[in-house]
Amino acid sequence: MTDILKADMKSMDIVEHQINKLKQLYPEVFIEGNQIDWERLRLTLGDAVDTGKERYGMVWPGKSDCYKAIQQSSIATLKPAREESVDFDTTQNLFIEGDNLEVLKLLQKSYLGKVKMIYIDPPYNTGKDFIYPDNYSENLGTYLRYTGQVDDEGRKFSTNSETDGRFHSKWMNMMYPRLFLAKNLLRDDGVIFISIDDHEVHNLRLLMNEIFGEENFIANVVWEKKYTRSNDAKWFSDNHDHILVAARNKEGCRFNLLPRTEDQIAAYGNPDNHSKGRWKATPLHAKSGTDGAFSYTFRNGVIWSPPPGTFPRFSKESMDKLDRTKEIWFGTDGKGIPSKKSFLAEVKAGVTSTTLWSYQEVGHNHEATEEIKKLLPENPFNNPKPTRLIQRMLNISTSKNDIILDFFAGSATTAHAVLKLNAEDDGNRRFICVQLPEPTNRDDYHTIAEIGKERIRRVIKKIKHGQDRNGDMPDNSTSLDLGFKVFKLAPSNFKVWDASMDKTPKAIQTEIEAFGEHIDPLATEEDVLYELLLKAGYPLITSIEKLSMEGKTVYSIDGESLSICLEKELTLPLLRAMAANKPARVICLDVAFGGNDALKTNAVQIMKSQDVEFRTV
Give the helix/strand (H/E) hosting 607: helix 597-609
Backbone angles phi and psi of 217, in degrees to 5:
-75, 135
Give pLDDT tens digits for 136-172: 666 777 788 777 776 655 445 666 666 565 677 888 8
**Bigger pLDDT: 4 or 257?**
257
Give the helix/strand (H/E) hosting 79: strand 76-80
- For residue 279, the model assigns a pLDDT of 92
Give the list of residues 6+ apart from residue 383 with CB closer than 8 angstroms, or none.
365, 368, 369
C-alpha distance from residue 609 to each of 11, 32, 561, 582, 603 (Å)? 30, 33, 17, 10, 10
**Bigger pLDDT: 484 or 149?**
484
> How high does pLDDT run on average in the chain?
85
- CA–CA separation, 302 and 319 (whole Å): 13
Predicted confidence (pLDDT) at residue 378 exceeds the cutoff of 80:
no
- For residue 117, the model assigns a pLDDT of 97
Helices (H), 157-232: 167-185, 201-212
- CA–CA separation, 426 and 423 (whole Å): 5
Predicted confidence (pLDDT) at residue 26 exceeds the cutoff of 70:
yes
- For residue 84, the model assigns a pLDDT of 96
- For residue 458, the model assigns a pLDDT of 94
Predicted confidence (pLDDT) at residue 296 exceeds the cutoff of 80:
yes
- For residue 474, the model assigns a pLDDT of 45
pLDDT band at 377 (very low <50, low <70, confident <90, very high): confident
Give pLDDT tens digits for 509-567: 666 655 556 788 889 999 999 999 999 999 999 999 999 999 999 999 988 789 999 99
Instruction: Tell me which range, 123-137, 374-388, 468-482, is most confidently predicted by mean pLDDT.
Output: 374-388
Give pLDDT tens digits for 398-452: 999 999 999 999 999 999 999 999 999 999 999 999 999 988 888 888 899 999 9
CATH 3.10.20.600 fits 71-257+352-491, yes or no: no
The lowest-confidence range among 210-214, 404-408, 591-595, 610-614 is 591-595
- CA–CA separation, 428 and 399 (whole Å): 9
- CA–CA separation, 496 and 8 (whole Å): 10
Using alpha carbons, select from 457, 458, 436, 432 the residue that is nearest to residue 447: 436
Instruction: Tell me which range, 175-179, 331-335, 361-365, 474-478, is most confidently predicted by mean pLDDT.
Output: 175-179
- The arithmetic mean of pLDDT across residues 370-375, rounded, is 88
- The arithmetic mean of pLDDT across residues 292-303, rounded, is 87
pLDDT band at 135 (very low <50, low <70, confident <90, very high): low
Give pLDDT tens digits for 322-343: 999 999 999 888 888 899 999 9
What's the pTM?
0.84
The lowest-confidence range among 250-259, 281-290, 490-499 is 490-499
pLDDT band at 471 (very low <50, low <70, confident <90, very high): very low
- For residue 554, the model assigns a pLDDT of 94
Q: Where exactly are the structural domains of the chain? A: 71-257+352-491, 262-343, 505-616
- For residue 387, the model assigns a pLDDT of 94
- For residue 47, the model assigns a pLDDT of 66
